Amino acid sequence: MVSVAPLLASPHGARSDIDEPDESLLVTEDDTPLDGILTEKQERLLSEPVYTSWSGPPPGDDGAPRPFAILANVGLFSTPAEQPVVPDVMLSLDVTIPPELEEKKNQSYFLWRYGKPPEVVIEIVSNKKGGELGARRARYARMRVEFYVVYDPLLLLGDVPLCAFELRGRSYVALARPWFESVGLGLVEWQGTFEGIHRPWLRWCTRDGKAVPTGAERADMAETRADMAETRAHQEQTRADTAEARAQRMAARLRELGIDPDGDP
């Protein structure tokens, strides 16, 4: 188990007496292009909707909204002495990314700086060399990552594309359904079109299994609702015009018969 709090408390807590590690000595970026196009698109599909459409994690005891951060392909450091692991996507609750991103101490996820591991880590399998179900899974367990997800869209590791695990004790237990109660989100494999490519995609979902929409999908839904409202208003006006025309024809017929339609009975 990796203990993170004694080194440096989270941004919401008090500092400890132990000296702050010097992140300037750590390699946080190597500028090596690692992701293929499929993985890159998948990472964005998992990141963008959380910021544009998710209402956030369940509120705390005080009812106040809780901050969160979702990061793609960013170094995750457990201790200054270890090399980082780079998850494809990680979601961390109750943390705030500092605005001074040009400072090296803010360019990676240092457990000693944030005071906690991310709640969810997602790895997207693109080859058989990543150790997603072996060494990586064991390392995330040591970091105390609560939920670990392996998405294998090309079925390189077996015949199951989506595996989700929950940390219980010191090891992970497979989940029958990738729903993360403490986070308020789940995952679902969704068949659809993203950026012009139609295929299965991994999406965040709500409890009922509906995908959390992207910003573009929200805009399309808003436009569809506006179009439907306009259509209903047009239909109502058409019905009103038809009723008015029918009433006028009836009044004209009564006048032909010598009856004043506006007169007393």
Mean per-residue pLDDT over the chain, rounded: 86
> Is the predicted pLDDT of residue 251 greater than 90, yes or no?
no
Distance of alpha carbon 208 from alpha carbon 64, whole angstroms:
24
Question: Any idea of the CA torsion for 79, 113, 109, 206, to the nearest 10 degrees?
Answer: 120
Render pLDDT for 53-96 as a digit per residue (tens, 0 to 9). Answer: 999 999 988 889 999 999 999 999 999 989 999 999 999 999 99
CB within 8 Å of 200: residues ≥ 6 apart: 153, 161, 189, 190, 191
Render pLDDT for 141-188 as a digit per residue (tens, 0 to 9). Answer: 999 999 999 999 999 999 999 999 999 999 999 999 999 999 999 999
pTM above the 0.85 mark?
no
Regarding beta strands 185-194 and 197-205, do their DSSP bridges make them parallel or antiparallel, or are they unpaired?
A: antiparallel
75 vs 4, residue with greater confidence: 75
184 vs 239, residue with greater confidence: 184
pLDDT (0 to 100) of residue 169: 96
Best CA proximity match to 152, nearest among 191, 214, 200: 200
107 vs 13, residue with greater confidence: 107
